[in-house]
């Protein structure tokens, strides 16, 4: 890929879909797994639009389900590139559901997918840089850096922790766990 730059707006993608009974779970709400599938699709579209090449999902950094989505609501997902690495992109996605009878809208989900640009052999490719034009775009970029730093810190802490059984016997004191040996 070239070293050119693109604006956030150049790669933004919006999709809308009516939620059908076939998308629901046993509780009559839209199944979270179905929403995750749509999120992955829009993240792919946004990342591929920015990079101009095929992209794969490297990680799903955050998925916050804030409000349930009802059958019959119109779900709109808005995706944009929030951060650019060498071959990776963080795609921020906002999910809103609209009651098409009343017009009432609610924020249902916020998600961050890390996507990586690949060539036909699976080799990672450099992606275009990002032109930030608004305070919101700068804020999203900075928050992505902070999320990345926190993720690296959690990973390091987890890998450094040695789970020696005897050191964790105090968990028996918790009300919701029972250790049987």
Residue 172 within any structural domain of the chain? no
Count the domains in the chain: 1
Question: Three-state SS for 9?
Answer: helix
pLDDT for the residue numbered 179: 64
Residue 63 and residue 113: Cα distance in Å, rounded?
A: 9
- Please indicate, yes or no, if residue 171 is contained in any of the structural domains: no
Write the CB contacts of 168 (distance below 8 Å, at least 6 apart in sequence): none
Q: Chain centroid to CA 38: how far?
A: 11
In a domain, 158, yes or no: yes
Q: Between 181 and 47, where is the model more confident?
A: 47
Exposed/middle/buried for 123, CB within 10 Å: 0-12, 13-18, 19+? exposed
In a domain, residue 98? The reply is: yes
Q: Which two tokens stand for residue 37?
A: 């599938």
pLDDT of amino acid 1: 44
Whether 181 is in a domain gets the answer no
For residue 162, the model assigns a pLDDT of 63
174 has a pLDDT exceeding 90: no
pLDDT tens, position by position, 129-169: 999 999 999 999 999 999 999 988 888 887 776 666 666 66
Provide the domain limits for residue 34.
5-162
Mapped onto helix, strand or coil, the DSSP state of residue 61 is strand
180 in a structural domain: no
With a cut of 60, say whether residue 67 has pLDDT above it.
yes
Say how far apart CA 52 and CA 45 lie, in whole Å: 10
| pLDDT, averaged across the chain | 92
Say if 177 falls within a structural domain.
no
Q: For residue 136, is it within any domain?
A: yes
The CATH number given to whatever domain includes residue 62 is 3.10.129.10
């Amino acid at each position: 890929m070239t070293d050119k730059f693109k604006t956030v707006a150049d790669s933004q993608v919006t999709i809308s879909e009516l939620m059908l009974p076939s998308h629901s779970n046993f509780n009559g709400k839209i199944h979270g797994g179905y929403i995750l599938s749509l999120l992955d699709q829009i993240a792919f579209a946004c990342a591929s639009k920015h990079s101009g090449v095929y992209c794969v999902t490297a990680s799903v950094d955050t998925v916050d389900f804030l409000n349930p989505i009802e059958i019959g609501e119109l779900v709109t997902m808005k995706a944009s590139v929030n951060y650019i690495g060498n071959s990776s992109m963080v795609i921020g996605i906002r999910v809103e559901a609209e009651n098409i009878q009343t017009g009432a809208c609610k924020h249902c989900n916020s998600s961050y997918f890390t996507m990586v640009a690949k060539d036909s052999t699976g080799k990672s490719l450099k992606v275009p840089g990002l032109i930030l034009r608004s305070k919101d775009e700068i804020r999203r970029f900075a928050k992505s850096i902070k999320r990345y730093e926190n993720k690296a810190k959690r990973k390091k802490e987890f890998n450094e922790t040695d789970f020696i059984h005897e050191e964790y016997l105090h968990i028996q004191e918790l009300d919701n766990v029972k250790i049987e040996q």
